[in-house]
Amino acid sequence: MAELDDRVWIGGIPVERMTASGWCRLMLDDWRSRRAGRGRPPKVVTTVNGQVVSMFASDPQFRDALLAADHVAPDGMSVVFASRLATEQPLPERVATTDWFHHAAKAASRHGMRFYILGATAEMNARALERIRILYPYLQLAGGRDGYFDRADIGRVAQEIAATRPDILWIGVGNPEQLMLAHRFRTLIPSLTWVRTCGGLFDFLSGLRTRAPEAVQAMGLEWAWRAALEPRRLGWRYATTNVNAILAMARDTPRRSHG
């Protein structure tokens, strides 16, 4: 992970103090180092929001996997708000994956980086690929596939992906599984610079789901917007994880904060 002074501890999780453009610079710097043969092994880059804080507090295996990640970005406004209470040097902004993907795609288009997207159904994955090609015609897309495969076949799937020689592998199959897979894939696909977890990104890229209005996002209430649209799927999840996350952040953030 980054140097200690570049992180804020939220709910026991070290979150990097970086802007969206800073994350793009880091991605490009790591990619250049890998191409020059002087980079370290592929990195696992993931994110934290209220749900992740809740899972981190209750799932020891997930906790270990998250702490083993190389970089953690703040995907939820609750994490940014907590950092403002924890330190005089808070997180500068939310770096939502659904937004940051577009920053990354623009940077990759300019420099010739190759993306591969793994996750969602075959139909949604194909639609996401099509949308990416329309938005970023100069982006090199190595390929994509759905996330519905037998986990015993991970070696075969890794070989298929490795044959396309991607630089960035985007994995969107939901936590905790996507983080566990990220650690596995980084050891199996030698061309990679990053394995980047991305949750429901492909649902948004495919058009299956839409973002909340910007004002709602700024207030940290995008979760409420999503719950209102899909109460059966998300209502109970948010009701429980939000409470757990608040308790975890209140318990662990002040004690572990730096800055």
pLDDT tens readout for residues 138-176: 999 999 999 999 999 999 999 999 999 999 999 999 999
* Cβ count within 10 A of residue 115: 24
Please name which of 139, 147, 208, 142 lies closest in space to residue 182, comparing C-alpha atoms: 147
Q: Any idea what the Cα angle at residue 201 is, between residues 208 and 48, rounded to 5°?
A: 135
**Predicted confidence (pLDDT) per residue in 43-88, tens digit:** 999 999 989 999 999 999 999 999 999 999 999 888 999 999 888 8
Average pLDDT, the chain: 88
Domain count of the fold of the chain? 1
In a domain, 13, yes or no: yes
| Upstream peptide bond of 176 is cis (omega within 30 degrees of 0) | yes
Which CATH number does the domain housing residue 125 bear?
3.40.50.10700
Look up residue 100 and give its two tokens.
């940051």
Give the pTM. 0.88
Look up residue 69 and give its two tokens.
């990640």
**Predicted confidence (pLDDT) per residue in 174-210, tens digit:** 999 999 999 999 999 999 999 999 999 999 898 777 6
pLDDT at 104 > cutoff 70: yes
Cα–Cα distance measured from residue 235 to residue 223, given in angstroms and rounded to the nearest whole number: 9
In a domain, 204, yes or no: yes
In a domain, 198, yes or no: yes
* Residue 106 neighbours by CB under 8 Å, 6+ apart: 136
Cα–Cα distance measured from residue 14 to residue 48, given in angstroms and rounded to the nearest whole number: 10
pLDDT at 253 > cutoff 80: no
CA end-to-end distance (rounded Å), the chain: 16
In a domain, 259, yes or no: no
pLDDT at 250 > cutoff 70: no
Q: What is the pLDDT of residue 147?
A: 96
- Residue 202: give the domain boundaries: 4-254
pLDDT at 2 > cutoff 50: no
pLDDT at 247 > cutoff 80: no
In a domain, 27, yes or no: yes
Which residue blocks in the chain are alpha helix, DSSP H?
20-35, 50-58, 60-67, 77-86, 97-111, 122-135, 154-162, 177-188, 201-206, 214-218, 222-229, 236-256
